Each structure stands twice: as structure tokens, then as C-alpha cells.
Amino acid sequence: MTTHSSNRYSVDAHTADKFYIDGRWVAPAVPASLAVINPATEEVAAQVARGSSEDVDRAVAAARAAFPGWSATPPAARAGVLGKIHELILERKEQLAQALSLEMGAAIGFARAMQVPLAAEHVRVARDLLTSYRFHTLEGSTAIEREAIGVCGLITPWNWPLYQITAKVAPAIAAGCTVVLKPSELSPLSALLFAQLVHDAGLPPGVFNLVNGSGHEVGAAMAAHPDIDMISITGSNRAGALVAQAAAPTVKRVTQELGGKSPNVLLPDADFANVVPLGVMSAFRNVGQSCSAPTRMIVPRARLAEVEALAAATANAIIVGDPSAEETVLGPIANQAQFERVQVMIEAGIDEGAKLVCGGPGRVAGFDYGFYTRPTVFSEVENRMRIAQEEIFGPVLCIIAYDTVDEAVAIANDTVYGLGAHVQGQDLQAARAVASRIRAGQVHLNHPAWDPMAPFGGYKRSGNGREYGVVGFEEYLEIKAIVGFGS
């Protein structure tokens, strides 16, 4: 057993070196392991099993065998199991939060307040949908049947590990599908806890299976597997494209939630003293490691100096440090490769002539190790610059000036991405009009509360398909028309 410290998460030796397949913890077909690095210390926190195509074959076979029984299980019974999963997430929330903090550096307060509770909400929503969703409808004499698509391969990322697992697993099993999950190899510990939790909730063997491993081994095997009916991936654009290519020969459904470079348009009548700090914190939430983070703040040129001062004051007040400390707001970047990427992009912003308002390259003062990154704000950014076009995935904000609202909309849309967007303005009708012109899958007006029923997904290179709520649930369903049913 590998232990981080006496009062934090410890990896269960019974499960860390195994996969969860067909209701049991089983050893990999070929013994191999992956090191999990604690980003706060750069030390090995745990070793977990590394899978191969043989392990994927075993998991898919279990899921395929379980599918007829689970898909025929009444919705009320499926809801009952989901309800137990929801209860266990809340009951074990501290253990889950500690695992998230260890594996990807989430500040413990953020893990407790956001990462775990929001993950639980996806399960609650899926459970509740089953009480009202109509799987059978009649339109004239034609019956429309909505049936589980089959075996689903689910590939989740390292930045919101548990949250993205429940966003996929919960609606899939609610729909009557069976699943094979490949969590990110960079943050697999919360997934192991989730697998045990699902087992304890009484989900029948084979309905949920977990195989850890790399994308080029396990992910590729899942995407190409002829007995997987659907792949859902959240990840980079490169990973999404590779999965789609591998899935094409078997013509399986592929849904992708990929990159983003989300705009935050501040209209001239916005309450700048309020929305600029909120915009900075939204961009830097989860250390900026969110695909929908509003990292391009688009502001009236006449208010640029004011915005810079407000943004700098907010960024400079953020406490970056040990993720186990209660006062920490931002922990480290989740892994070394991403830390190095962020450093390269900060240097690129400086080299391209953007104005460095605060932050900059290098670690946070006082830290000689750990992937601690300085919250960084650039101004006088031109939308052609790399920092305005490429997803940085770290605490880096670009402030871009506009002269007219039409120009602001054009800047917002001048990106290959289209995942999220924000609009701020006291005239709600005007804000709505701007929102309708932005090419993005989800637009937030005036920093609203998170809505687990709001469909989430992207336009353009941000992917296809949707997650969350009814629309996300229906991604896991096939539609059958029975013509003459009512004759």
C-alpha cells in the first residue's frame, strides 16, 4: 500500500494493481503498472495497473454479456441503483476529495465544494430522469421506441476526474447501457474509488467495468473494438480526432467534448467592479484547467485600464499553495507536461508583445518543486496571437479590447473552438442578443448558477454531441420507429 500521509487518501492495495471487470477486481492480463505523480511534490503517490487490448477484450465481453439483462431492467430499478450510488458519493465525499487533491492537485476546499458535489449531481439528475422520461411514445399510428444503444466505451480526462466519470457513466447506465470506463492515466485514483462505490451500490456484474491505461493502448483498443457500440470522450482535440478515426471502420457513435477558448464579452453597461473579478476567478477555476474556462476577456477599449487594474488586483490576491491547506485557492497544475505547456505559452505571450499585467513565467515564489504556476493576466492582446487562439489550460487570462459590439462578437467567434462563452451586461435583452450571435454550445449570462440540466458540448472543433440533463441522456439511446403500431 502506498500512502501519501497519515491523514490523507491512501491507495487500497487490493484495488490499485487491479481492474474492475464483471463485478470483480482482477489482475491485468499482462502485469504492468503506471506511476501516479503527486503534482504538489513531484513524487510518486501510487502505482496502478496498466491495461492492454486483452484487458479491454475482457471488459467488453463482460459488458456485452450484461447488456440484455440490464437494458431490460425496469427504469425504476435502474433508478434505485443510481440513488444508492448518489448516496455513497455523498457518504464518501471526504475520501473522494482527498484522492482528487492527491492525484491532480485540486485545492482540498475546491475538491470538497465543487469537484465532488457536482459529480454527485450528475448521478442525481440521471436517477430523477428515470421517473419521468418516456421511452415509448406514439405519433399517429407510429410508435417511437427509445432503446439503450448498447456497450459504451467512456474515456475521461484528468482535469475533472470524478465529475466527468459521473457525467458519462450515470446517464449511460440510466439509459440501460453497459459501460467500459478508461479514466485518465494521470488521475486514476478517484476512478478506483468510484468503481468500489458502484460495486457497493449493488450494480449487477458487467454493467460497469474499469480498465486503467494509456490512450494509445487502452483508448485505441476501445475505439476500434467491434463490440463497443458508442464511444464518449472528453479530452484534447488530438485525442478526439484519433478516437474518431479508430472508430470509423465500425461505424460506432462517437461523441466528443474537446478543447475550448471561451470568450467573456463585457458589454459597455456591465458592472465592471463586479464582473471583472468574477471573470478572472471563472477563468482560473480549477487552476484554469477547464475546457470551457472563459480565458478571453473581451472589453470596451475605453474601459481597458480599469479592467486591467481590477483583474490584477483579483489575480494577485489569489492564494496559490499546498492543496491540502484549507486557505489555498489554487493548487498546482495537475501534471508536468501541462505545467511545461503553460510556461511555454506564457513566454509566447511575452514574445508576441502582449502586455504582462501580472504573473509571468516560473513557479510561484517560495516553491522550488511542485507544478505551482503564477496566475497570469495579459492585456493588449490581439486575437491573432497564440495566447488568444490556442488552449493554454492554465491560469492565464487574455484581455482583448473592442470598439463596437459587432467587433466584440466577431472577436468572440474568431476561434476554431465553440464550447462555452460568457456575456455580461445589465440590459438583459442586449446580453441575450449577443449570446444568440456567439457560436458556442453553452453561453452564460451574468455568471449564473451552474445548471446540471443545461446541455454541454461544442460547436466547430470543440466536438460533437452533448452531455448533461435530458439531451446528454439521449446520446445513449437509439431510436426505433414501429410503423403501423397503432393501426
Q: Same domain for 219 and 117?
A: yes
Q: Same domain for 393 and 304?
A: yes
Judged against a pLDDT cut of 70, whether residue 1 lies above it is answered with no
Taking phi first (over 0 means left), then psi (-120 to 50 degrees means alpha), and beta for anything else, what does residue 21 get?
beta
Q: Same domain for 437 and 334?
A: yes
Q: Same domain for 41 and 168?
A: yes
Over range 275-298, report the average pLDDT: 98
Which CATH number is 373's domain given?
A: 3.40.309.10
SS3 36: strand
Q: Which single residue is written with the C-alpha cell 419521468?
A: 132
User: 152, 185, 217, 291: which one is catalytic?
Assistant: 291
Q: Same domain for 54 and 152?
A: yes
Percentage of the chain lying above the pLDDT 70 cut: 97
pTM value is 0.96
Judged against a pLDDT cut of 50, whether residue 53 lies above it is answered with yes
DSSP string, 336-380: HHHHHHHHHHHHHHHHTT-EEEE--SSBPTT-SSS--B--EEEES
Is 325 part of any domain?
Answer: yes
**Dihedral angle of Cα 378, 380, 381, 382, to the nearest 10 degrees:** 180
Is 456 part of any domain?
Answer: no
- Helix, strand, coil shares of the chain, percent, nearest 5, are 40, 20, 35
Distance CA 152, CA 422 (A): 32
Give the chain's length: 487
Examine the residue annotation and report whether 398 is marked as an active-site residue of this protein.
no
Q: Same domain for 251 and 341?
A: no
Judged against a pLDDT cut of 90, whether residue 479 lies above it is answered with yes
User: With bands split at pLDDT 50, 70 and 90, how would you rate the model's confidence at 14?
Assistant: low
Is 139 part of any domain?
Answer: yes
Is 2 part of any domain?
Answer: no
User: 257, 308, 467, 475: which one is catalytic?
Assistant: 257
Distance CA 244, CA 232 (A): 10
**Dihedral angle of Cα 3, 328, 115, 256, to the nearest 10 degrees:** -100
Over range 92-108, report the average pLDDT: 98
Q: Same domain for 268 and 283?
A: yes
- Structural domain total, the chain: 2
Is 191 part of any domain?
Answer: yes
For the chain, the average pLDDT equals 96
Q: Same domain for 326 and 425?
A: yes
Distance CA 270, CA 275 (A): 7
Examine the residue annotation and report whether 358 is marked as an active-site residue of this protein.
no
Q: Same domain for 330 and 232?
A: no
Distance CA 8, CA 99 (A): 8
Is 53 part of any domain?
Answer: yes
Over range 13-31, report the average pLDDT: 90
Which CATH number is 474's domain given?
A: 3.40.605.10
| Tens-digit pLDDT profile for residues 147-185 | 999 999 999 999 999 999 999 999 999 999 999 999 999
Q: Same domain for 275 and 142?
A: no
Distance CA 154, CA 219 (A): 9
| Tens-digit pLDDT profile for residues 302-339 | 999 999 999 999 999 999 999 999 999 999 999 999 99
Distance CA 251, CA 226 (A): 9
Range of the domain at 313: 263-450
Instruction: Give the distance between the most distant pair of CA atoms in the chain.
Output: 77
Strand order in the sheet with 477-482: 136-139, 142-148, 477-482
Q: What is the pLDDT of residue 389?
A: 98
Is 455 part of any domain?
Answer: no
Distance CA 103, CA 161 (A): 9
| Tens-digit pLDDT profile for residues 2-11 | 333 333 445 5
Q: What is the pLDDT of residue 13?
A: 54
SS3 274: helix
CA 15 to chain centroid, in Å, comes to 24
Cα distance from N-terminal residue to C-terminal residue, the chain:
65
Distance CA 394, CA 390 (A): 12
SS3 327: coil
DSSP string, 400-432: EEESSHHHHHHHHH-SS--SEEEEE-SSHHHHH
Let me know: does 18 contact 26? Beta carbons within 8 Å. yes
Distance CA 122, CA 169 (A): 9
Q: What is the pLDDT of residue 16?
A: 84
Q: What is the pLDDT of residue 12?
A: 65
Is 5 part of any domain?
Answer: no
Q: CA nearest 124: which of 68, 164, 72, 86?
A: 86
Quote the Cα angle for 217-149-78, to 5°.
100
Q: Same domain for 103 and 186?
A: yes
Over range 284-292, report the average pLDDT: 98
Here the cell at position 12 is 487500497
Distance CA 412, CA 443 (A): 12
Q: What is the pLDDT of residue 6?
A: 34
Q: What is the pLDDT of residue 15?
A: 73
Judged against a pLDDT cut of 70, whether residue 396 lies above it is answered with yes
- Give, as one character, the DSSP assignment of residue 219: I
Q: Same domain for 352 and 236?
A: no
Q: What is the pLDDT of residue 428?
A: 98
| Tens-digit pLDDT profile for residues 433-477 | 999 999 999 999 999 999 999 999 999 999 999 999 999 999 999
